[in-house]
Amino acid sequence: MGKWISKSAAFWRWLGASLVVFAFSERVFWAFWRKEDSADELAVTFATYGLIVVVAQFLFRRYRVQEWHRIFLVGALVGWLAEGVVVTTALGDGTNPFPLSISFTGLSWHAPLSVLFGLWWLPKAVVNPDPGPVIKASAGLGVGWGLWAGYYKLEAGTAATTLGNFAMHTTGVTAMLVVGVLLLLKNPQVEAERRPWLTWLVMALAGTLYLGFHLPANPIPAVVLLALFVFTWRRIVMSQPAEMETTESLSQSIPTLRNLWLLPLAGGLAIFTYALVDSLTPGISSNIALYLITMPLGFGLFGRAIWLSYRKRSKPDQLNATPES
């Protein structure tokens, strides 16, 4: 019975993490329902992110990842799998040249937003007895979300970017985030898998695609990105704590989840912000501002995370350190 419960908790936790990553990495990024967003397309995209989450959760469990800088390094791997294997954005193109493409969007979106914020900081804020952190997080997310969506008025035109479209899409994505965080908090993290065959199967498939197609097509960027991927994985392995105290999951240590219902503030503020943008402007170049800010920031956070991984192995009482500590 205990083994079945453990597997059940692992599945629900995986589903919760997949919903959070899919919401931030995919749906917040696109901001609207698009013509190509068919049920089949959405299912395939969600399944793809689900496979990437399998790898991330393996790293979290197997190498005791709990410090912010090591979580960011896992996020970097998530971003590069999504942007360098599933698609080739990380290898550069006309609008996002290599090597700047290493950061945008792997280090500048997936790692800080989907993984560090979505899988780590946001659940911690929800279980905090003080509602202040989750209110601030929801407010910042909502305003940023609404401003980002303003760019699509210039990109896709007004017919595809109506306030109704944005409101409907944002409501659905917000519900996805609430369910995802709830599943994460209600299902404690399980011990490392003894036979992580699924992780290695995913990596084998990714390696076959990367070496068979992306490397021949873009040899220099592909070699550099592969070296960075291996190096980052190695730093996660080598910087794991020598020992770790047994800790309770967030949902066990603080049973109340009442702050979870403050998360919809993000969706509400996003809709309000976009309504202002939609009514007052023909669109805003928020994509340029985002690129100029987050692209170098992604490199900076990555460099900081690597530097911290070399300092020393974490002690047990440092495992729950926050980025500010």
CA-closest candidate to residue 92, choices 219, 186, 209: 219
Token code pair at residue 268: 């509400």
pLDDT tens, 177-202?
Answer: 999 999 999 887 655 555 689 999 99
pLDDT band at 324 (very low <50, low <70, confident <90, very high): very low
Name the pTM for this structure.
0.91
pLDDT tens, 76-132?
Answer: 999 999 999 999 999 999 999 999 999 999 999 999 999 999 999 999 999 888 999
- Rounded CA-CA distance 143/168 in Å is 17
Amino acid identity of 27?
Answer: R
Per-residue pLDDT at 156 exceeds 60: yes
**Rg (the chain; Cα; Å):** 19
Task: Give the pLDDT confidence score for residue 255 in this predicted structure.
Answer: 43
pLDDT band at 242 (very low <50, low <70, confident <90, very high): confident
- Rounded CA-CA distance 92/89 in Å is 6
User: How many Cα atoms within 13 Å fall on the side-chain side of residue 283?
Assistant: 16
pLDDT tens, 267-288?
Answer: 999 999 999 999 988 889 999 9
CA-closest candidate to residue 114, choices 38, 202, 176: 176
Task: Give the pLDDT confidence score for residue 192 in this predicted structure.
Answer: 53
Q: If you average pLDDT over residues 162-172, what whole number do you get? A: 97
Per-residue pLDDT at 7 exceeds 80: no
User: How far is C-alpha 206 from the chain's CA centre?
Assistant: 19
- Rounded CA-CA distance 23/176 in Å is 7
The chain-wide mean pLDDT, for the chain, equals: 89
Per-residue pLDDT at 2 exceeds 90: no
Instruction: Express as a percent the part of the chain with pLDDT over 90.
Output: 78
Task: Give the pLDDT confidence score for residue 265 in this predicted structure.
Answer: 97
In sequence order, which residues have a C-beta less than 8 Å from that of residue 73 and are 6 or more positions away? Answer: 232, 235, 236, 302, 305, 306, 309
Residue 102 CA: distances (Å) to CA of 28, 90, 114, 167, 294: 20, 5, 17, 32, 12
Q: If you average pLDDT over residues 208-227, what whole number do you get? A: 97
pLDDT tens, 40-79?
Answer: 999 999 999 999 999 999 999 999 999 999 999 999 999 9
Q: At 92, give phi and psi (nearest 5°).
A: 95, 150
pLDDT tens, 290-311?
Answer: 999 999 999 999 999 999 999 8
What is the full DSSP assignment across 113-158?
IIIIIIIIIHHHHHHSSSSHHHHHHHHHHHHHHHHHHTHHHHHH-S
